[in-house]
């Protein structure tokens, strides 16, 4: 497979920097001096100092204005007596001989950067954050992002589904950072070593705090664990701003503007809503119905079934100015004799020969108990001669499609493969996925998207389906209840996607209550990756949330994700077209601009404002039940380049 060398190198750099500390431009001579007072290591950071207690790894912040708070409680496990602290090359170093751990602390980019090296396999729980009584909220990028009040009784209860959970930095969060906020100040934490690290939510005495858990494993190359700490202004998106700055210096952020310049087809995403099509919506007649409704710009996808879009339908979509892309997955193989979908059928000997194997050498059963998970390393080794992926892509785009949705590849679902024929660890799996996504968007020039895409994949993707949604664990249980959620019949409009569902109150609150939603993903990546909700959570699937979700889309400058057939277009087409017409000029103005500000305008957090670029777009949304500053309840005002506000008040479904 021919590689786009620039994309491949940049993507690889991002992976390497995410797992190491080598990608900085400053030299040791440039760094502020670290002070050592016995077991206290004082590290200058932007906005003050961080004081590390070498006896316990507790960390305190001392801000320039005199405020101080605990950045991290001591490590959860006893470390044993530390060695004396030594300094040199701008770093402080000490060791816990009993545990076989060596710690270095340094100033990097205005942050405290700490690396723990382990001599042997094991784990540690650290940093332990949010334990200071001054902390009011914890922010974390589950999907788009949440800001949770740590002393809220509901969020501390089982009903909220957060306390007691653990989210992987690669596969549970969309970006490997979290933050805390208090009056006038806050903290940002970046798990630079994201592979092998997770974030645990703990409730103690009615307050939530978080514990980072890292696994030291030689096979996974995770024997070095690096975490960065920063002092912030306490904004609900301050940690996201900090991570954006870090990411720009560690692998980079590829601007959407550059992606459009390289492939003008990417520009068709600007102003477009996204929709998966079924039945007549996949036909030229369906495309014409959309056009007649006034849907000016659309990304249209279709599932991996026996009735893909024809060339005639794709041509009609192109004539309308739409993008078309097939759904595909390179993550699952099933016995071709009884595979339940075309994307799981591969030519011999892919079935089983290319399967991931566990530590016992057994084939790893695939998603939903079907087939097996496929090894990206097996594909990478076979591709130069067999061209399984090239042939698959050629077949899937023979109808003229210029976009592609590759499921799972950017979602962080990484595997360790113990097969002697194609061994790999999780970091190698991620590199393989970056390579092949870079090939699709680079060499093949396809407008590429993936599921719930992590920030590490931003350079090779144009859009992400699912990164908008802060999924609660209760959703998976609900989706397995086919009587409530719906199954995969009828063929032309599966109830799984089309049957309206009323979410249980607690799950709806955890996922969609606007007072807890914060645009962390957009703060980091708005000008790089276009993000939507999950495709099985289309706008009409959840009628109770339809108004607020439409308002959030306008506030965040992100498109709605829909499922469409003729009945959906007949029932809701006019509403969808009205929303798309309002969204289009806002997205045209700001799709390639960064989100520069987010703030709550009321104490209850129900009136919110976003800003994009340097005065390019300002959007205010009122989720409350009362008029605020002239903006009625349930309405959105948007102003492009300081012009008169344009208002929409979505009616919902």
Helix (H) or strand (E) holding 582: helix 566-590
pTM (two decimals): 0.95
* Chain Cα centroid distance, residue 412: 9
Q: In what order do the strands lie in the sheet with 403-407?
A: 530-532, 463-465, 447-451, 403-407, 323-329, 298-302, 273-277, 561-564
At residue 30, the pLDDT reads 59
pLDDT tens sequence across 564-598:
999 999 999 999 999 999 999 999 999 999 999 99
Distances (CA, A) of 389 to 200, 302, 324, 343, 433: 37, 19, 20, 11, 12
Buried/exposed 441-474: b ≥16 CB within 10 Å, e otherwise:
bbebebbbbbbbbbbbbbbbbbbbbbbbbbbbeb
At residue 25, the pLDDT reads 42
Query: What does DSSP assign to residue 25?
Result: -
Of 246, 119, 262, 145, whose CA–CA distance to 189 is shortest? 246
Q: How many whole angstroms separate alpha carbon 170 and alpha carbon 175?
A: 7
Token pair in block for residue 595? 């989100």
Q: How many whole angstroms separate alpha carbon 200 and alpha carbon 210?
A: 5
Contacts of residue 566, defined as CB under 8 A and 6 or more positions apart, other chains included, come to: 279, 280, 281, 286, 289
Give the domains, in start order, of the chain with CATH numbers: 24-248 (2.70.98), 261-330+392-592 (3.20.20.70)
For residue 545, the SS3 value is helix
Q: Where are the beta strands (DSSP E) in 205-351?
A: 207-216, 224-232, 273-277, 298-302, 323-329, 332-333
At residue 20, the pLDDT reads 38
pLDDT tens sequence across 469-504:
999 999 999 999 999 999 999 988 999 999 999 999
Which segments in the chain show pLDDT lower than 70?
Answer: 1-31
At residue 251, the pLDDT reads 85
At residue 129, the pLDDT reads 98
At residue 304, the pLDDT reads 82
> Which sign does the torsion angle of CA 511, 517, 522, 524 carry?
negative
Beta-strand relationship, 177-182 and 185-191: antiparallel
């Amino acid at each position: 497979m021919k590689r786009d060398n620039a994309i491949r190198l940049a993507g690889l750099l991002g992976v390497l920097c995410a797992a190491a500390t080598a990608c900085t431009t400053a030299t040791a001579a440039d760094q502020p001096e670290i002070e050592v007072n016995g077991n206290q290591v004082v590290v200058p950071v932007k906005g003050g100092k961080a004081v590390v207690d070498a006896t316990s790894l507790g960390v305190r912040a001392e801000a320039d204005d005199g405020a101080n708070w605990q950045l991290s409680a001591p490590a959860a496990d006893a470390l044993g007596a530390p060695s004396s602290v030594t300094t040199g090359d701008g770093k402080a170093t000490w060791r816990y001989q009993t545990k076989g751990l060596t710690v270095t602390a340094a100033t990097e980019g205005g942050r405290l950067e700490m690396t723990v090296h382990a001599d042997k396999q094991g784990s540690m729980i650290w940093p332990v954050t949010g334990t200071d009584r001054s902390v009011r909220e914890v922010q974390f990028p589950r999907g788009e992002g949440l800001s949770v009040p740590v002393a809220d009784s509901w969020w501390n209860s089982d009903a909220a589904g957060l306390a007691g959970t653990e989210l992987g930095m690669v596969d549970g969060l969309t970006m490997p950072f979290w933050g805390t906020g208090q009056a006038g100040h806050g903290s940002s934490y970046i798990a630079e070593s994201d592979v092998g690290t997770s974030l645990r939510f703990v409730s103690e005495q009615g307050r939530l705090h978080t514990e980072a858990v890292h696994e030291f494993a030689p096979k996974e190359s995770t024997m070095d664990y690096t975490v960065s700490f920063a002092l912030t202004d306490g904004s609900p998106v301050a940690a996201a701003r900090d991570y954006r700055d870090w990411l720009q210096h560690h692998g980079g952020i590829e601007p959407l503007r550059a992606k459009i310049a390289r492939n003008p087809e990417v520009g068709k995403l600007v102003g477009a809503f996204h929709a998966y099509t079924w039945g007549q919506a996949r036909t030229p007649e369906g495309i014409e119905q959309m056009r007649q409704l006034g849907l000016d710009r659309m990304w249209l996808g279709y599932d991996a079934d026996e009735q893909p879009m024809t060339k005639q339908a794709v041509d009609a979509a192109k004539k309308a100015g739409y993008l078309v892309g097939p759904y595909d997955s390179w993550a699952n193989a099933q016995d071709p004799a009884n595979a339940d979908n075309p994307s799981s059928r591969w030519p011999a000997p892919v079935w089983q020969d290319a399967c991931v194997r566990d530590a016992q050498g057994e084939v790893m059963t695939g998603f939903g108990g079907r087939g097996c998970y496929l090894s990206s390393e097996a594909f990478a080794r076979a591709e130069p001669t067999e061209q399984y992926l090239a042939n698959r892509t050629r077949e899937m785009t023979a109808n003229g499609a210029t976009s592609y949705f590759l499921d799972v590849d950017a979602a962080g679902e990484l595997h360790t493969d113990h097969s002697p024929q194609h061994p790999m660890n999780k970091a190698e799996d991620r590199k393989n996925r970056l390579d092949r996504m870079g090939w699709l968007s680079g060499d093949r020039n396809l407008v590429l998207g993936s599921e719930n895409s992590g920030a590490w994949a931003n350079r090779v993707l144009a859009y992400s389906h699912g990164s908008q949604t802060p999924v609660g664990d209760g959703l998976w249980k609900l989706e397995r209840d086919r009587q409530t959620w719906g199954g995969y019949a009828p063929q032309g409009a599966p109830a799984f996607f089309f049957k309206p569902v009323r979410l249980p109150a607690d799950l709806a609150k955890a996922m969609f209550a606007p007072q807890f939603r914060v645009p962390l993903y957009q703060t980091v990546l708005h000008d790089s990756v276009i993000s939507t909700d999950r495709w099985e959570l289309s706008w009409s699937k959840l009628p109770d949330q339809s108004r607020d979700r439409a308002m959030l889309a306008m506030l965040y400058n992100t498109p709605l994700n829909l499922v469409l057939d003729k009945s959906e277009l007949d029932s809701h087409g006019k509403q969808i077209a009205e929303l798309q017409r309002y969204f289009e000029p806002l997205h045209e103005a700001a799709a390639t601009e960064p989100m520069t500000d987010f703030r709550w305008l009321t104490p209850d957090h129900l009136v919110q404002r976003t800003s994009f670029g340097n005065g390019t777009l300002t959007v205010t949304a009122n989720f409350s039940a009362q008029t605020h500053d002239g903006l009625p309840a349930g309405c959105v005002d948007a102003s492009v380049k300081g012009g008169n506000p344009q208002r929409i008040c979505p009616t919902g479904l």
